[in-house]
């Protein structure tokens, strides 16, 4: 379990689970993305995004990476079966967790790309179900960087208290 840096986020769910995918499963996903093709990563604006809700826009200043989107119901079921016991149902209250979204947004960072600016993950509604949790998978290793920084949305309030979640 990772403890979020801000007191008001103490009840939020954040943890690292090693070995969710085997190395050959990770390699297979990378091969699938290479075959499908990579494109400039766009931002998707979710619920609560005002006039931009539902839009997809490339803004390199906010997200500088390549992306491949894969839709895979079988993979979503497999991952949900592997992860469901690690996630407390109370983290979703009053809702009930049921599955993972089958849309996998695979990002690739190359030398010179800036990565992601500070943001809050959005929520989406698919078939009457709302997303409540981000599942972030690292598919390879042998790189520098890649930490996800948990911090306050307001820089002035963050005051360097952010926490880096390091891929392993």
pLDDT in tens, the chain (168 residues): 655 556 666 666 677 788 899 999 999 999 999 999 988 777 665 555 566 566 666 666 666 778 898 999 999 999 999 998 888 787 778 888 888 889 898 888 777 766 666 666 666 777 888 877 778 888 888 777 667 766 666 665 656 666 676 666
The per-residue pLDDT for 129 is: 82
The per-residue pLDDT for 125 is: 74
Q: Yes or no: say if 102 and 73 are a contact pair by the CB < 8 Å rule.
A: yes
The per-residue pLDDT for 9 is: 63
The per-residue pLDDT for 153 is: 62
How does DSSP classify residue 42? P
d(CA 143, CA 42): 23
d(CA 16, CA 135): 10
- The domain limits of the chain are 7-65+77-165
Residue 56's contacts (CB-CB under 8 Å, 6 or more residues apart) are: 42, 43, 44, 45
Q: Measuring CA to CA, which residue among 142, 62, 68 is closest to residue 105?
A: 68
- With tokens 């996630």, the residue in question is 87
The per-residue pLDDT for 35 is: 97
């Amino acid at each position: 379990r990772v403890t979020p840096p801000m007191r008001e986020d103490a009840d939020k769910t954040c943890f690292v689970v090693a070995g969710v995918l085997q190395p050959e499963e990770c390699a297979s996903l990378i091969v699938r993305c290479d075959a499908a093709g990579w494109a400039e990563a766009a931002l998707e604006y979710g619920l609560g995004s005002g006039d931009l809700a539902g839009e997809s826009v490339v803004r390199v200043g906010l997200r500088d990476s390549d992306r491949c989107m894969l839709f895979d119901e079988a993979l979503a079921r497999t991952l949900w079966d592997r992860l469901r016991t690690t996630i407390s149902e109370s983290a979703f209250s009053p809702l009930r967790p049921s599955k993972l979204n089958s849309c996998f947004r695979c990002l690739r960072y190359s030398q010179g790309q800036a990565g992601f600016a500070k943001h809050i993950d959005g929520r989406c509604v698919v078939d009457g179900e709302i997303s409540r949790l981000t599942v972030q998978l690292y598919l390879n290793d042998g790189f520098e960087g890649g930490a996800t920084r948990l911090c306050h949305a307001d820089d002035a309030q963050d005051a360097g208290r952010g926490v880096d979640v390091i891929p392993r």
